Amino acid sequence: MRWPVENRLESRLDLPRRLRRARKAEWARKLMRENRLTVEDLIWPIFITDGEGVTEAISTMPGVFRYSVDQAVEQAREAAGLGIPALALFPNTPSNLRDETGSEALNPENLICRGIRAIKAAVPDIGIITDVALDPYTSHGHDGLVAEGCILNDETVAVLVRQALLQAEAGADIIAPSDMMDGRVGAIREALDAAGFADVSIMAYAAKYASAFYGPFRDAVGSSGTLKGDKKTYQMDPANAAEALREVELDLAEGADYVMVKPGMPYLDIITRVKDHFAVPTFAYQVSGEYAMIMAAAERGMIDGEKAMLETLLAFKRAGCDGILTYFAPRVARLLAGKA
């Protein structure tokens, strides 16, 4: 005689749950794995500096270097060989070329424009993402124009539009405004379309927080000693989450193709909320301070650096990221390919 269905279910519910059965062996864990990290998830940020034949170590970012344009081309070749789909380029502008208005950002022969052209000529199929902001070019270290201690929003946007057009003309595939000025995405989109660059995408730094984790990056681009004050009037308050959704919504409405959350690990909750709410291509930047912490702890034997590196990147995937900007990109790519 068979028990009624509800009785059979009640009987099974009385049994101890054994979720460990699905973890008993590596093959079983592979079958149950919900998220996977692949080389296609990686974007490699590269710093470009003046000169020729230059590979210059960055003291606060062990294993990361500034490259002259010719050496950046070699890194692009390596990235393509490893299957990394895209590079993000950042300049270390010489101090004598920095001024109050960041005028070097509008020089068609600046480091970034030369880097784009050289990389595209040598490795045409790799994606190039370029930063649109004035902080690598200003003598005061801010992302925008300054008057009497105030960051000028609309005047800055006008300059950013011109900067974006120069980068598109040089061959950039994705324009990535990181400045956090209001309205810049719409202005850049309109200008790109009018100039015949309708196929150039925009990756908006939509939720960029006024974070303590940017220090080593500022060393890398040479702005750590120039920044006057802080960026709290235009970058987001780390206490806020709902505001991030409003920022993302505005950037999408203005024409952003992709959105980014920055920093990464301290803001996994923001990544998840953005992805769940908007279901759009969502990226994160594992910033310099995150990288430096992992490297410093690993060098002191406090953690297994390789495992921590992979675990943090997998956490981005679990949170909902479609792609990750990370200084670990070439190292991870070699690991995934069995070339480490």
pLDDT < 50 regions, the chain: 1
Question: What's residue 21's pLDDT?
Answer: 87
Residue 14 is assigned to a structural domain of this protein: no
**Per-residue pLDDT, 225:** 77
Go through 190-217 and write b for each residue having 16 or more CB atoms within 10 A of its CB, e for each that does not.
Answer: ebbeeeebeebbbbbbbbbbebebbbbb
Copy the structure tokens of residue 246: 């409003």
CA atoms within 13 A on the CB side of 254: 24
pLDDT value of residue 307: 97
Residue 202's domain is classified under what CATH number? Answer: 3.20.20.70
pTM: 0.93
pLDDT in tens, 201-211: 999 999 999 99
Q: Is the peptide bond before 216 cis (omega within 30 degrees of 0)?
A: no
Task: Look at residue 340 in the predicted model and tell me its pLDDT.
Answer: 67
Of the listed 24, 30, 120, 208, which one is catalytic? Answer: 208
Specify if 28 maps to a domain: no
Q: Which helix (H) or strand (E) holds 340?
A: none
Residue 30 included in any domain: no
| Domain-located, residue 15 | no
Residue 208 bears catalytic tag: yes
Our count of domains for the chain comes to: 1
Residue 300 lies in a domain: yes
* DSSP bridge pairs for 43: 86, 325
Structure confidence by residue, pLDDT tens digits, 179-215: 999 999 999 999 999 999 999 999 999 999 999 999 9
Closest CA to 135 of 126, 145, 147: 145
**What pLDDT does 18 receive?**
85
Please tell me which residue in 120, 262, 275, 317 is annotated as part of the active site: 262
- Per the domain annotation, does 7 fall within a domain? no
Q: Could you list the residue range(s) of the whole structural domain that residue 84 is in?
A: 35-336
